[in-house]
A = this chain, B = another copy of it.
Amino acid sequence: MLKKYLHEKKVLIDENLELCLKELEYPLVISEGMKYSVLNGGKRIRPILLLTILELLEKDEKKGIPTAMAIEFIHSYSLVHDDLPALDNDDYRRGKLTTHKKFGEAEGILIGDALLTYAFGILADKNGFLEPDQIVKLVSLTSKYSGIQGMIGGQTVDIQSEGKKIDFETLKYIHENKTGKLLKLPIEAACIIGKADKKTEEILMRYAELIGLIFQIKDDILDVEGDFEKLGKPIGSDLESKKSTYPSIFGMNKSKEILFSVANEAKEIIRTNFSNETAQILIELANYMVVRES
């Protein structure tokens, strides 16, 4: 059931992303670079989370599509800039050349900038279904969660920690910000769009935190035990760059134990508070993120 659900949502999001990118033409290297970076076979976990939470709240998912796209644009820009030579210096992503390898380094920087800039344009221009003060809240949240107090903060501490032994607090900060905030963003955005009450929002934000944690622990585990073919990127890169990870701090067995226990809490929260069909999807989604191979 989950597989079919995820596939249908991914098709819907990809169609909308393609339509949205079609509007951009000149200069060609930027518009082509934006398309290359966004339409890269991504799993669309963040936009799917947004649409699924709207469904859970029994609201029209159409209202969430522009914001879901904006978040995916921000996710894409962050990958483009992370892959740059001065940062992770990665040549491949999902088995394809990274954006700067394909289009040039200067262009890679500018394509990333253009994706980030355009994300805010989507929020402002495509959200005609929403009230203006909802749009303002979405812009505010998107800026906060992807900026210095969010994703960029986490990414910065991550690169500063390379080759250093860091404590668990620092590792937690990196996870909560580098990947966690951009997984919380679609869930909190869905609460704004769906006008969730305070209590529902709190419950869902806890689920969001746990999903972020699952994602990160699993990412660390895959970097040790993953399959290059399935992952589309080299294995062992954390070890090579001496990154602190769950396995390097807790060992592999304990890391897996934590992963399962976090996933159980995530599922329990949904089970206790929601009972419609979409609740089941969110429970299966937590499972899927535990067993994913890429």
Contacts and interface: CB of A to CB of B under 8 A. Distances in A.
Contact of A132 (B118, B132, B143, B146): B132
Interface residues of A, number: 52
Given A118-B148, A142-B120, A109 B132 contact: no
Contacts of A143: 117-118, 120-121, 124-125
B132 A31 contact: no
Q: How many protomers of this protein does the assembly include?
A: 2
Interface string A105-133: 11111101110111011011100000111
**SS of A interface (majority):** helix
A76 interface: no
Contact of A30 (B34, B117, B140, B156): B156
Contacts of A142: 120
B136 A124 contact: yes
Nearest to A135: B136
Interface string A160-171: 100000000000
A89 B117 CA distance: 23
29 contacts: A26-B153, A29-B160, A30-B148, A30-B156, A77-B113, A84-B106, A106-B159, A107-B156, A109-B109, A110-B156, A113-B116, A113-B152, A114-B147, A114-B148, A114-B152, A117-B143, A117-B152, A120-B120, A120-B142, A120-B143, A121-B139, A121-B140, A123-B139, A124-B143, A125-B140, A132-B133, A132-B136, A135-B139, A139-B139
